[in-house]
Structure 1
Amino acid sequence: MTEEPTMPEMLTVDLHPIFRSDRDIDAAVRTAIFRAARERIKTVEIISGKGSGKLRRRVMATLNQPHLKKLYRRVETDPANDGRVLVHF
């Protein structure tokens, strides 16, 4: 009898290194959402940073695309840290 490998509870994506490229931001968010759905990860944590909120708005726009929206249950911003978006599956 073999044990199934345990899946991580949370996947974290830090967007700080790629904040200047909309294409890279979209790709990182999409990749994380597809991976979480495929590997049954419960939560994706996307760290956009506090700043002006432009990066968070970009992340939310990406997450609102219909082909991604059907993969997760809900999205929330961390009430204690608005530079952190949590996507629940």
Structure 2
Amino acid sequence: MLTLDLHPIFRNTRAVDLALREIVFRAAATGEDVVEIIPGKGSGQLKRRVLAFLNQPPIRKLYVRVESDASNTGRVLVHFK
């Protein structure tokens, strides 16, 4: 499982977008089953941004489903084919 913790870069919009794009494409290319993205709990703004990124049509084609961890709302799991 690949993990991306957004805590260190959450203030840099460009870095967040680049990191998300990088991990999604790496997982799709290497056949990874699950990617864990940690936006943190906070106000929920970063998590909404992550979900909006994942919902873009070219990105949406790369994975099967997205789930928010019920026991930890600051964690998003992306399941690949």
TM tier, shorter chain?
over 0.9
TM-score (norm 2): 0.96
TM-score (norm 1): 0.88
Write out aligned runs for 1:47-62 (5 A): 47-62=38-53
Aligned pair count? 80
**Structure number, greater radius of gyration:** 1
Residue 82 of structure 1 aligns to a residue in which SS?
coil
CA distance in 2, matches of 1:36, 1:23: 20
**Structure 1: gaps spanning 5 or more residues:** 1-9
Aligned-pair CA distance for 1:38: 0.2
State the Cα RMSD in Å: 0.5
Residue 73 of structure 2 aligns to a residue in which SS?
strand
1:73 to 64, 71, 77: 64
Q: Give 4+ residue runs of structure 1 displaced > 3 Å after superposition.
A: none
Q: How many percent identity over aligned positions?
A: 64
